[in-house]
């Protein structure tokens, strides 16, 4: 994830290009004009809730779905009349699709049938592929004798042995338990760096996408809502919907007071007057709720009574709820000054703080000082 | 504690299975044991003498006519099985892969429609279709395609095979259909994804995974057809007897129950051995767990 890698990917040639891709299932408009360029060597994720079209898009790239209009290019070549078996892509299926009548080695060697190499050379390739995914010596096992994690590794080896230009992964980790999933995330990243193949991952798990990807396309209802790197996506979501889908974000209504040279001054009940530069403003806001300020839970902290804070702004608040998570605690706060016009209680905002040994967790009902920085706010308008 | 509760469960289980178990004992085990006993006894005139003998088996395994009929039965059954399974597979494949899910049960229902009439009536109907003055001959004569009715379409092995293949088609279609239904469709996509054409994916993925159904269909058709007695009698015109007809002649016409029993036991043994060899040859397909 170094700047080096980022620069290199920035300059890389496009590997997958989708132009105005439309797909219908009967009357249902599954893909609504997808425009997308995935660069060579990139770890790219398609992220969205179920039914958003991400799997359809992946299957379109793989050649399992015909599109109704638009263009898909892989490595500069039109894919219109290229069937799935002739495309330079391989797929890791959600169910892994391990052939139950074949051994692990036979599964991995499945795609090598027409490879001109000798039997011994192929066996060597299979051994190497199994070693790469950490399954050295599993070749003779029957497919049904494997655990979920092992099946996934076989599916990976079976695809990667063919040295595809693109590896497509359809929710590959969703069937694994949490520990295994986190382990496989790290292994997949390492594997991708090692083989240098373009990976396209479909997932509904925002955390997974953030951890693994160079860039992420967030999809809703057959359209790409935002395409960005993980940091940009998290820090400056394009819409409230994207913000809500990726992590937690607090929203407060804001009144625009003035706008000069791209700097917008807003008045936010509870936070006061804030000046926001261009880079903190998301103008594409189809939510149509009026101007809204958003901030992430971890950008606001409770200041211990006997300390001075390091962040520029400070507000008073009352603790409404405390949710203890072990390493973290979530607090729901009512900001002072955010009460409704008729004296209704302020809508609580959620903040999160890492628990530090020796520091007490404040109780519900305590009046506290909270510190925050205007630099962590996003204005949706 | 655990043992007591297991005992209770065991008692419940035994209570549940005992009625069908007793029934099976009466209608399956008892007749087979009777036949087995008869086959070692001596035939007296119109009666069975209780003297142990191997003669019946010596007859069953050395008589040239018996051997000829037994071999013919095996050949006809094998042919019927081949034809039936080969025709059933495409039908099962079509219903499983091409028919929309909500229409599948209707298709299965249509496939079982021939069972609405009795087996005997269906065999008679084939006789009506294939006979000297039957549907085919009168149509062809009426259309002026032939002058004389065709005689080679009834009273021969072909007509027996045709009739039996039709009668047993649903028995072959259903197990193959079930095996095809169990195949995870993503396996076929995986086959395509790994570079194989549709035909090769069928050969390397679909067919091996459908084999348990094909094997079941083969056995289900082969075992009863070898013992079929009505079709050779009616469609074969009694001129090409199969082993069941020979047993019937021994048992009833000649009233030689020991010889008839020995023939029946021998036929059962041969069918069992053939089936076991067939299963052994296909054992790798049966070990697959999906």
Question: Hey, of A61, A62, A85, which one would you mutate to test binding to chain B, going by the most B CBs within 10 A of its CB?
Answer: A85
Whether residue A210 is found in the same domain as residue A353? no
Residue B147 pLDDT level (bands cut at 50, 70, 90): confident
Whether residue A194 is found in the same domain as residue A265? no
Contact B169, B88 (CB under 8 A): yes
Query: pLDDT at position A284, please?
Result: 66
Whether residue A173 is found in the same domain as residue A298? no
A82 at B interface, C-beta within 8 A:
no
Residues linked to residue A77 through DSSP beta bridges, in sequence order: A74
Query: pLDDT at position A287, please?
Result: 58
Q: Which residues of A touch B288 (CB under 8 A)?
A: 100-101, 144
- The total number of residues written for chain A in this structure: 381
Residue B1 pLDDT level (bands cut at 50, 70, 90): very low
Question: Hey, of A60, A79, A98, A101, which one would you mutate to test binding to chain B, going by the most B CBs within 10 A of its CB?
Answer: A101
Whether residue A134 is found in the same domain as residue A225? yes
| Among A139-148, A160-169, B199-208, the least confident range | A139-148
Whether residue A13 is found in the same domain as residue A107? yes
Sign of CA dihedral A184, A186, A187, A193: positive
Question: Hey, of A64, A74, A90, A99, which one would you mutate to test binding to chain B, going by the most B CBs within 10 A of its CB?
Answer: A99
Rounded-to-integer distance, Cα A201 and Cα A45, Å = 5
B126 at A interface, C-beta within 8 A:
no
Query: How much is the average pLDDT of B75-104?
Result: 95
pLDDT, averaged across chain B: 90
Taking CA–CA distances from A94, the nearest residue in chain B reads: B186
| Residue A73 structure tokens | 């290019």
pLDDT digits (tens, 9 = 90+) for B18-54: 999 999 989 999 999 999 999 999 888 778 888 889 9
Q: Vertex A260, ends A259 and A263: CA angle to 5°?
A: 75
DSSP label at A285? -
Closest CA to A296 of A246, A224, A354, A239: A246
Final residue belonging to a domain, choices A173, A205, A240: A240
Whether residue A126 is found in the same domain as residue A67? yes
Cβ A84–B288 below 8 Å, yes or no?
no
Whether residue A139 is found in the same domain as residue A201? yes
Taking CA–CA distances from B187, the nearest residue in chain A reads: A97
Q: In what order do the strands lie in the sheet with A69-74?
A: A28-39, A14-25, A69-74, A77-78
Cβ B193–A85 below 8 Å, yes or no?
yes
| Residue B117 structure tokens | 């009439």
| Residue A215 structure tokens | 């860039």
Provide the CATH number for the domain around residue A263. Answer: 2.40.50.140
Residue A345 pLDDT level (bands cut at 50, 70, 90): confident
Query: How much is the average pLDDT of B74-87?
Result: 95
Q: Which domains does chain B have, with CATH numbers?
A: 64-289 (1.10.3720.10)
Contact A105, A130 (CB under 8 A): yes
B83 at A interface, C-beta within 8 A:
no
Question: What's phi and psi for A254, nearest 5 deg?
Answer: -130, 150
- ipTM here: 0.84
Residues linked to residue A259 through DSSP beta bridges, in sequence order: A264
Question: Hey, of B100, B190, B209, B287, which one would you mutate to test binding to chain A, going by the most A CBs within 10 A of its CB?
Answer: B190
| Residue A312 structure tokens | 């520029």
pLDDT digits (tens, 9 = 90+) for A172-183: 998 888 888 899
Rounded-to-integer distance, Cα A144 and Cα A122, Å = 23
Cβ A99–B187 below 8 Å, yes or no?
yes
Query: pLDDT at position A1, please?
Result: 47
Q: Please give the tally of structural domains in chain A.
A: 2
Cβ B195–A162 below 8 Å, yes or no?
yes
Whether residue A219 is found in the same domain as residue A98? yes
A250 at B interface, C-beta within 8 A:
no
DSSP label at A229? -
A144 at B interface, C-beta within 8 A:
yes
Query: pLDDT at position A309, please?
Result: 66
Cβ B196–A83 below 8 Å, yes or no?
no
| Residue A131 structure tokens | 């070693």
Query: How much is the average pLDDT of A276-280?
Result: 89
> In angstroms, what CA-CA distances link A136 with A106, A126, A154, A196, A333?
14, 10, 11, 22, 53
Whether residue A220 is found in the same domain as residue A254? no
B267 at A interface, C-beta within 8 A:
no
- pLDDT of A243 > 70? The answer is yes
Tell me which residue range forms the domain holding A342: 249-381
Question: What's phi and psi for A178, nearest 5 deg?
Answer: -60, -45
Residue A285 pLDDT level (bands cut at 50, 70, 90): low
Whether residue A276 is found in the same domain as residue A350? yes
Cβ B190–A93 below 8 Å, yes or no?
yes
A88 at B interface, C-beta within 8 A:
no
Cβ B194–A110 below 8 Å, yes or no?
yes
Q: Which residues of B touch A86 (CB under 8 A)?
A: 195
* CA distance to partner chain B, nearest, from residue A89 (Å): 8
Q: Are strands A367-372 and A301-303 parallel, antiparallel or unpaired?
A: antiparallel
Whether residue A194 is found in the same domain as residue A267? no
Rounded-to-integer distance, Cα B126 and Cα B116, Å = 16
A107 at B interface, C-beta within 8 A:
no
- pLDDT of B183 > 70? The answer is yes
Number of C-beta neighbours around residue A258 at 10 A: 11
Instruction: Classify each residue of B81-111 as buried b or exposed e, where b means 16 or more C-beta atoms within 10 Å of its C-beta.
Output: bebbbeebbebbbebbeeeeeeeeeebbeeb
Q: Give me the residue label for tokens 């159904």.
A: B213
Residues linked to residue A266 through DSSP beta bridges, in sequence order: A256, A274
Q: Vertex B276, ends B274 and B258: CA angle to 5°?
A: 55
Residue B133 pLDDT level (bands cut at 50, 70, 90): confident
Number of C-beta neighbours around residue B18 at 10 A: 10
Q: What percent of chain A has pLDDT over 90?
A: 66
Q: What percent of chain B has pLDDT over 90?
A: 57
Final residue belonging to a domain, choices A240, A257, A278: A240
Final residue belonging to a domain, choices A240, A266, A297: A240
Rounded-to-integer distance, Cα A255 and Cα A233, Å = 25
Whether residue A130 is found in the same domain as residue A210? yes
């Amino acid at each position: 994830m170094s700047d080096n890698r980022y620069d290199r990917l920035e300059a890389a040639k496009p590997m997958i290009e989708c132009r105005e891709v439309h797909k219908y299932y009967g009357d249902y408009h599954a893909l609504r004009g997808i425009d997308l360029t995935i660069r060579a060597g990139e770890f790219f994720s398609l992220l969205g809730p179920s039914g958003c079209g991400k799997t359809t898009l992946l299957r379109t790239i793989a050649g399992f779905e015909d599109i109704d209009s638009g263009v898909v290019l892989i490595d500069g070549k039109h894919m219109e009349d290229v069937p799935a078996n002739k495309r330079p892509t391989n797929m890791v299926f959600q169910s892994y699709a391990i052939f139950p009548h074949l051994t692990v080695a036979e599964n991995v060697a499945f795609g090598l049938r027409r490879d001109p190499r000798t039997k011994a050379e192929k066996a060597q390739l299979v051994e190497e592929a199994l070693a790469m995914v950490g399954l050295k010596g599993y070749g003779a096992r029957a497919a049904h004798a494997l655990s979920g994690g092992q099946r996934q590794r076989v599916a990976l080896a079976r695809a990667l042995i063919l040295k595809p230009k693109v590896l497509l992964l359809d929710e590959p980790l969703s069937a694994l338990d949490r520990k295994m999933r986190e382990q496989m995330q790290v292994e997949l990243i390492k594997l991708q760096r090692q083989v240098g193949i373009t990976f396209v991952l479909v997932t509904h798990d925002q955390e997974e996408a953030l951890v693994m990807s160079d860039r992420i396309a967030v999809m809703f209802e057959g359209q790409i809502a935002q395409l960005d790197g993980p940091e940009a996506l998290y820090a400056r979501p394009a819409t409230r919907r994207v913000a809500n889908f990726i992590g937690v974000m607090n929203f407060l209504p804001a009144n625009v007071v003035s706008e000069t040279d791209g700097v917008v001054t807003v008045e936010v009940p509870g936070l006061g007057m804030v000046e926001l530069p261009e880079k903190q403003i998301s103008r594409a806001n189809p939510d149509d709720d009026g101007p809204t300020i958003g901030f992430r839970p971890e950008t606001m902290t409770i200041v211990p009574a006997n300390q001075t804070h390091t962040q520029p702004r400070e507000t008073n608040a009352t603790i409404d709820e405390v949710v203890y998570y072990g390493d973290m605690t979530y607090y729901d706060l009512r900001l002072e000054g955010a009460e409704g016009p008729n004296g209704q209680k302020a809508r609580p905002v959620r903040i999160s703080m890492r628990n530090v040994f020796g520091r007490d967790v404040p109780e519900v009902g305590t009046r506290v000082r909270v510190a925050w920085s205007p630099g962590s706010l996003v204005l949706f308008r | 504690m655990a043992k007591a509760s297991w005992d209770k469960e065991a008692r419940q289980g035994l209570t549940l299975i005992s009625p069908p178990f007793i029934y099976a004992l009466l209608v399956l085990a008892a007749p087979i044991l009777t036949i087995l006993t008869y086959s070692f006894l001596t035939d007296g005139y119109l009666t069975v003498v209780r003297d142990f003998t191997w003669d019946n088996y010596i007859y069953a395994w050395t008589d040239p006519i018996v051997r000829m009929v037994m071999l013919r039965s095996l050949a006809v059954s094998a042919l019927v099985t081949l034809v039936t399974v080969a025709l059933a597979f495409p039908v099962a494949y079509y219903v499983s892969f091409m028919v929309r899910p909500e229409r599948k049960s209707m298709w299965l229902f249509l496939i079982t429609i021939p069972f609405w009439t009795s087996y005997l009536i269906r065999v008679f109907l084939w006789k009506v279709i294939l006979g000297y003055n039957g549907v085919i001959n009168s149509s062809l004569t009426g259309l002026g395609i032939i002058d004389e009715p065709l005689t080679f379409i009834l009273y021969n092995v072909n007509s027996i095979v045709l009739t039996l293949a039709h009668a047993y088609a649903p028995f072959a279609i259903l197990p193959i259909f079930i095996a095809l239904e169990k195949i995870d469709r993503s396996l076929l996509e995986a086959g395509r994804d790994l570079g194989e054409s549709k035909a090769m994916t069928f050969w390397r993925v679909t067919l091996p995974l459908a084999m348990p159904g094909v094997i079941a269909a083969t056995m289900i058709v082969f075992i009863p057809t070898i013992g079929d007695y009505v079709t050779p009698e009616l469609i074969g015109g009694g001129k090409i007897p199969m082993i069941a007809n020979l047993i019937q002649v021994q048992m009833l016409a000649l009233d030689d129950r020991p010889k008839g029993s020995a023939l029946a036991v021998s036929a059962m043994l041969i069918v069992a051995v053939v089936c076991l060899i067939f299963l052994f040859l296909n054992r790798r397909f049966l070990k697959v767990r999906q």
